Structure formats: structure tokens, C-alpha cells
Amino acid sequence: MIDTSDFRNGLSIIFDGDLYSIVEFQHVKPGKGGAFVRTKLKNLRTQSTLERTFRAGEKFDQAILDRKKMNFLYHQDDEYVFMDMESFDQVAVPAASLGTGVKYLKDGTEVEVVSHNERIISAELPMFMEFEIVETDPGLRGDTASGGSKPATVETGAVISVPLFVNVGDRVKVDTRSDSYLERVK
């Protein structure tokens, strides 16, 4: 059991029967009344955030999360199959647990799988990944780096916005957290 004085950013707790990670917290001691803690919590299953206020000293169960590196193998129906690189066990993960990052998964991608009590909660992709552009409008003569953007489809089927000078066949680096183009890769 932990109480509000143990709160730290990134700490995982069990609250209302669900797993939450503390995004922000602030201890407040008003002139009148008891102290309290304002928090912003992120639900680890649904990825939604909520703000809650707790009395100082309230107790919670700490959620112990296991993190393990795994390789993506393939997807079948609504499940994605990953392989543990140490034991070579294969684990099927429902698409709902992966969130929006699933659109960037390609064979051999190493992800960090987060689990609680042997149950997989999420899989975290690398922050930056390289992809080949497979479909986009052709670039025109005179297009510059500061001249705007156009939609482009990468090899996994995800659509991102790229500068006008990027063409089919180019390799680009993408920030998977914000779905944004970073640079062209040579």
C-alpha cells in the first residue's frame, strides 16, 4: 500500500478497480482545512486521462508492471502476435490493447510489452521509426522544404503528412507518438 505522499510521475496505482499511471500531481496545503493532492491520471487500458483530487494520506495499491522486449511477428484477425526474445514464446495481443500505434507495426519491429499480473496491457512502439513511402502525389519542380505538405502512405498503410518534395520510394523517419514526419533518410 502507498499513500498520496508517495506519489511520483509515472507511478502506477490501482484506483476504482483499474490501472492508472500518475501523469501529474500537486500537493496542496490550504490555509484552512486539510491538505489534498490534485492529480492527473492516465488509464493504462483505455489511454484516457482524468483529473482527481485526493485527501492527503489516502491509501492505494501500487500496480507492479512488468516490461519485456518482444518482436512483432504477424497479425491474424483482431490479434497481433509477438515473440519473447528470451524464451521464444509467442503471445497474441488483442488490437484494442495496442492503441493507435498498431498502424506502424511491421514484421520484426521490437516493442516493449507492458503487463500486469501476467495480463498484457499495452505494447509501446519505438518513438521513431523509418518507413518507405509507397503512395503520394508526385513532387513538382520548385517544391521546397518550407512549401507545405501532402498526405503520404507508408509501407504499413499508415497515412502521414509529408513535405511536398517527398516522393514514392523515399525513406522517411516518423515520430510514432505524434504521427509526424521528421526527416528524409538516405
Which of 47, 62, 77 is the C-terminal boundary of a domain?
62
Query: Are 55 and 71 part of one and the same domain?
Result: no
Total domains, the chain: 3
Cβ–Cβ under 8 Å, residues 71 and 46: no
- If asked whether residues 159 and 118 sit together in one domain, one would say no
Instruction: Name every residue whose Cβ is closer than 8 Å to that of residue 172 and which is 6 or more positions away in sequence.
Output: 130, 131, 132, 133, 152, 154, 160, 162, 166, 181, 182, 183, 184, 185
Average pLDDT over residues 134-152: 73
The pLDDT, as a whole number, for residue 51 is 93
**Are residues 6 and 57 both part of a single domain?**
yes
Q: What is the pLDDT of residue 76?
A: 85
CB atoms within 10 A of CB 149: 12
CATH number, domain with residue 132: 2.40.50.140
- Asked if 104 and 134 sit in the same domain, the reply is no
Domain extent for 44: 2-62
Q: Out of 62, 89, 105, pick the residue that ends a domain.
A: 62
pLDDT for the residue 84: 87
Q: Are residues 16 and 56 in the same domain?
A: yes
Same domain for 135 and 85: no
pTM: 0.68
- DSSP reduced 3-state for 31: coil
Examine the domain organization and report whether 117 and 134 are in the same domain.
Answer: no
Residues 160 and 113 in one domain: no
101 has a pLDDT exceeding 80: no
Asked if 140 and 111 sit in the same domain, the reply is: no
State the pLDDT at residue 164: 84
Looking at the structure, do residues 139 and 170 belong to the same domain, yes or no?
A: yes
CATH code of the domain in which 51 resides: 2.30.30.30
Strand segments, DSSP code E, in the chain are 2-3, 12-15, 18-28, 36-43, 49-55, 59-62, 66-76, 79-84, 90-94, 110-116, 119-124, 128-136, 149-154, 159-163, 171-175, 180-185
Query: To the nearest whole number, what is the mean pLDDT of the chain?
Result: 85
Answer yes or no: do 114 and 153 share one domain: no
pLDDT at 98 over 60: yes
Q: Do 70 and 112 sit in the same domain of this protein?
A: yes
For 41-71, the pLDDT digits (tens) are 988 877 788 999 999 888 998 888 888 899 9
